[in-house]
Each structure stands twice: as structure tokens, then as C-alpha cells.
A and B are shown apart, each in its own frame.
Chain A
Amino acid sequence: MKFTVILNGCSDNFILQAEEINGFLSSNALNLSRGHTIIFYCEENSKIELMANAPTASVELIKVKRYQPENILEILKQRTINQQMDLYLFASDFTGSELSVRFAYRIAGSSLVAVNKLEIEKDGLIAYKAVYSNHMQGVFKLSKKPYCISIAKGCTDLEAVLEKNHEAITEDMMDVVKDDFIKEYDFVEEERVSGLAHAKFMLVAGNGVKQKEKVKRLEEIAKSLGAVLGVSRPVATNAWAPLNQLVGVSGVMAKPELCIAVAVSGAAAFFAGIEKSQYIIAINTDKGAPIVRCADVVIIDDYESILEELLKIK
């Protein structure tokens, strides 16, 4: 199957995107010699690192003023117009899912977002993805090429790129402008990085914490225990914790060695964010909560009392 990987080299998470896609290619037995990689970049001095992390030997580096989806989509269409490609693969972040859907529409292909696994058949592509808010896995058959697929967050192990003999061409396409509708543009960098994606020990709090002050205390407890604090969607959207601490399908998909989940009911869309934890300890007052069946060890009790006791013992 002839494929092209699309990566956003303007982003700080480029290496993560590249290693995740590389892991996906490897676990889905896609033949790298039939692949090509397109990387969008903004900084001239990042080119060498970007190229070194391209999963395929054949690489196209395209310089853009900034990563703006309207411009990127136009460039992608221009660069791929005469290609007979079977599959376009996009990263697992939000930019990847946006591009996969919009690009598929523009080139009259078919798209699927957050795909975990692919199987290639003669008359189509079989793709697996979570549906029903992560309660079910759906199996889809795509019949219309080119297939535009964005992969699911955390669907594969990260795999460093081994390819050493890259052959790259560089294009400057800064003059492609389709974002005239933007009159002012201001990027505000996150004040602090949550560190959740790479945390080895995580304490996660659910809606059962009920108050912002309790989340603040949990932040202190996490620090004392040597853990990083993550939160469920209601905790983040209630502004009890920063949005970058959100764990789950629409936030971070974490893979810690140890995870303590407190006051978490275990809604499937949240649990997907901690399911790759090596060991899960749940502390909850409700023994009927779904998290009870999904944890390795469970305590049915008030989480605050248990954690305060743990701090005394430690």
C-alpha cells in the first residue's frame, strides 16, 4: 500500500508525533519503502532534526510561515494533486484529526479519526476505532481511496526512527495564504507543562472531589508522593484544574507505571486515558462505580482520609 505520512514540524511535540506514527507503521506492517513523509516546518534550524525523525527515507520538507490549517490544507492539495496515493496517515493530536477529515473531503477520499489498528484487504481498508464513548470498538471497512486516517492517541508504543538514509527535498511555500479571515493572531504559551504524558506515577482526581480547594490539596499530596496530578473532564471544565491536566479521550492518554485514581467513577472516555497504566489503585466511596472493576486494587473509603494516612506512613 502506497502511503504518505503528514507531520507538523512547527509543533513542540514533533518527536512524539513521529515516534507514534513510526510505532503505528511498524505494528500495522506497513512497508516503509512504499512510504513518503511530508513535514511542515517554520524554523530553518530545525530541518536536520525533523528530517532525521521522518519515518520513511523519502521526505518532503515544506516551509510555512506558521502552522495554520487553512494554509496547510491548500498546500497539501497542491503538493499531492497528481499522486496516486492509497493512504494518508496523520498524527494523533487535534491537528492530525482536523487535517485528515478536511483533506479527505478536498481530494474526494474517505476519512476516519482516532484509528487504533489497520488491516489491508484487496478491496478496502479495515480500520478499528473506539466508539460509544470508548465503551465499544467499531470495525469499519473503507472502500474509497485515498484513505485519510488519523491515528488514536496512545494506540501504539513510541518507536524511535531507525531510518538513516533520508532523501529530502525542501520547498518554501510561505506564499500560500488562505487565512485572510484572521485579523489578529496571538499565541499564549502554557504557563507550565503538565508532564502527564511521560509521568511514571500519576494521581488522578475525578468529579467526586467536588471542590477546587480539594483539587489544590490533591496537587500538594501528589507532590509529596512524587506523583503528577491529572484530572477528569468535569474537574478541568469546572476550572478546578488547568485544562492541560485533563486525562482521557479529549486530553492526555497516559501510560504511567503506577496510577492512583481517587473520586473517579471510571467513565469509559476518562478511563481510556489511564487504561495503559501498569498498575491502577482506585479509592472510591462507591463500590458500584465502574472504576472498581477496572482497577488492580481497590479501597472503598473516603479518598482524603486514605491519602492523608498514606502521607503519615510514607
Chain B
Amino acid sequence: MKILVCFKTVPDLEMLSEEDWAVDSNLAVDVSFVKNILNCFDESALEMTLKLSEYSESFNESLTLTALTIGDKKAEMFLKTLYALKFQKAVRIENNEDVRFFPEVIAAVIAQYVEKINNQDVVVLGRQSGEGDNAKTPLLVAEMLGWPCITQVINIEPSQEERLRVTSMVEGGTLIQVIDTPCVLSVGNAPVSYLRVPTLKDKMSYGKRAIEVLNINVFNIASLLNKCYHEYQLIGLEKISNHRAGILIEGATTAEKAKKLYDHYLKERLEKQ
């Protein structure tokens, strides 16, 4: 079974200070000085797929794992790690266009990659990522490929007859479904949140393979962007302010602080409950 995991590296937005949130004339915030991290949902998707690959061996089935990202060179460090974690293929589609708010473009590139370059049985993606927070890419990939989609996935296991057992969160509980492929899986809040660290030996043995780099122009991005501009555009961007009074309770001891908190701010409110 061939599985493609699409991931995005994102700036760690929590590192920005209040003053850093200045919007420029292109309606963008400069995040170039912030370190890049794996988008949290994508990180779960990558680890979940590695676990699936391990389980699959007990079903005598071998998976071919490909990791794909669209972006600049900064992502290559993560692709090398994925090679060291035994992904068979690591691909970067070079892009310098501003596609923050155009998941239609990203989805179209992924769908073309699957249809024309590297056929797959399953595509796994995180449900959403900053900066755009569009929450649309996995859904659009499914629609463009004409494949079914399962959202809020929290676990993927192998099953008999080359099927997958997929667990997903739904209102009021969890759904466990055994499915035929092809399928798009959109990963939600999974209790698999961190990507494992490769061993030094594996880094040396597998982490130095060449990353396949494709140019995004191969995917006709100019026409895709043009189509999007005619459908919707970002026309404003402003900082959300959540500031409150922030009254600081001081005291010489913990007990004194707790007493002040209770007497002045909590007692009356607790009595109302």
C-alpha cells in the first residue's frame, strides 16, 4: 500500500511578541525570524503513519511511505529526519508564492502529484495549519481526487485484505471504521502528538539521501492562483486583542496570596455558583 503524508512547516507564532504583529502592505506579518516547526496536526499524521507502517509488518504487508511538503528550503531539515525514520521518499515542491489563504492551490498541487507523478492509495494530512487556518486542504484534496475522506482521525491501523481500520472523533464518541482504499485521512486531535527521534545510526544510514525537489510551476500554479483571486481574497488583517486588567496579587507567602485571591476576587463569585 502506498501512503502519502503531506506536511507543512509553520512559524512558531507563539514566539512573536506583541510588537512583532505588524501588518505590512501585502497584508502579511513578518515571521521570517521565527523558527519553523512542524504543524501540530501534521506531526501527528507523520507519527501515526510510522506506527501504521510498523503494525503492517505483522500483517505481512509493507507500506511505501512518501512525505511531501510545499515550501522553501527550510523544510529540508524535516525531510531528512523523515528519511532517517525510514520514509522511502521525501519530496519538496519548491514554492515562493504567497499561498497562505489559498488552500485550493495547495490541494490542486497535491492532487496533481498523486494523479500524475506518484500514484497513492492513501493521502494523510493534518486538518489545518497556521498561518491561514483555512482547515480546507484535506477536504479539497479528497474532492479533487474524487476519493472519500475521513476527518478527525486519531488512529490508523492495518486490517485484513489490504484495508485500514481508522478511528476518528465524532460528536459524542469515536467511530471505528474498516475501509477500502483509496481514501484521504484528515488528522485531528490525536493522542499521538510527537514525531519520534531517529537514531544516530539511522540518521547516518538513511538521512543523507537526496530530497526530490520539484518546481511548483510544473503544476500550473499561475493559473490556479488567478482562479482563486477571482473567487475570494484577503482584504484586511488585524491583531486580535484579548487584554484584560491583569491585576497582580502580591504577598509574602503563598498562603497570603491565596487568602487575598479568595477574599477579594473569588469568595463572592464562588458563592454565586
Contact = CB atoms under 8 A, between A and B. Distances in A.
Nearest to B232: A142
Interface of A is mostly: mixed
B188 A250 contact: yes
A52 to B, nearest CB: 21
Contact of B233 (A94, A141, A257, A297): A141
Given A11-B171, A93-B171, A186-B177, A296 B246 contact: yes
A306 B174 contact: no
Interface stretch (B65-73, B75-83, B213-221, B251-259): B251-259
A206 B174 CA distance: 24
A142 B173 CA distance: 35
A138 B180 CA distance: 39
A293 B240 CA distance: 13
A135 B177 contact: no
Contacts of B190: 237
Contacts of B148: 70, 178-179, 181
B101 interface: yes
Interface of B is mostly: mixed
A251 B189 contact: yes
30 contacts: A13-B172, A69-B149, A94-B171, A94-B188, A102-B149, A113-B135, A131-B133, A133-B130, A133-B131, A139-B234, A140-B101, A140-B235, A142-B232, A143-B232, A179-B148, A183-B177, A183-B178, A184-B176, A184-B177, A186-B175, A189-B172, A243-B169, A250-B189, A268-B13, A296-B245, A296-B246, A297-B245, A299-B257, A299-B258, A305-B258
B189 A132 contact: no
B254 A301 contact: yes
A135 B21 contact: yes
Contacts of B127: 250
Interface stretch (B54-62, B90-98, B202-210, B260-268): B260-268
A63 interface: no
A132 B14 CA distance: 10
Interface residues of B, number: 83
Nearest to A271: B242
B233 A101 contact: no
Interface in A152-207: 178-190, 200-201
Given A188-B176, A233-B189, A237-B189, A141 B246 contact: no
Given A98-B151, A130-B133, A187-B173, A141 B235 contact: yes
A140 B228 CA distance: 12
B193 interface: yes
Which 4 pairs of residues, A with B, have the shortest CB-CB distance? A139-B236, A309-B258, A237-B193, A184-B178
B109 interface: no
A225 B267 CA distance: 11
B240 A135 contact: yes
A120 interface: no
B151 A94 contact: yes
Nearest to B13: A133
B239 interface: yes
Interface in B141-184: 142-144, 148-149, 151-152, 154, 163, 165, 169-181, 183
Contact of A12 (B133, B171, B188, B249): B171
Interface residues of A, number: 93
Interface string A1-35: 00000001001110000000000000000000000
A287 to B, nearest CB: 8
A280 B189 CA distance: 25
A135 B12 CA distance: 12
Contacts of A70: 148
Interface string A264-292: 01011001000100011100000000101
Interface stretch (A43-51, A82-90, A103-111): A103-111
A76 interface: no
B16 interface: yes
Contacts of B44: 237
B38 interface: no
A97 B186 CA distance: 13
Nearest to A248: B189
Given A11-B171, A281-B266, A181 B21 contact: no
Given A140-B232, A305-B254, 16 more contacts: A8-B171, A105-B139, A105-B140, A132-B130, A133-B13, A135-B16, A138-B234, A238-B193, A243-B191, A251-B189, A268-B240, A280-B244, A281-B265, A294-B242, A294-B246, A313-B258
Contact of B257 (A113, A239, A271, A306): A306
B134 interface: yes
Contacts of B152: 94
A293 B193 contact: no
B240 A102 contact: no
B232 A112 contact: yes
Contact of B246 (A95, A295, A314): A295
Contact of B136 (A101, A137, A305): A101
Contacts of B134: 113
B228 to A, nearest CB: 9
B116 interface: no
Contacts of B259: 309, 313
A163 B257 CA distance: 51
Contacts of B177: 182-186
Nearest to B147: A181
B201 interface: no
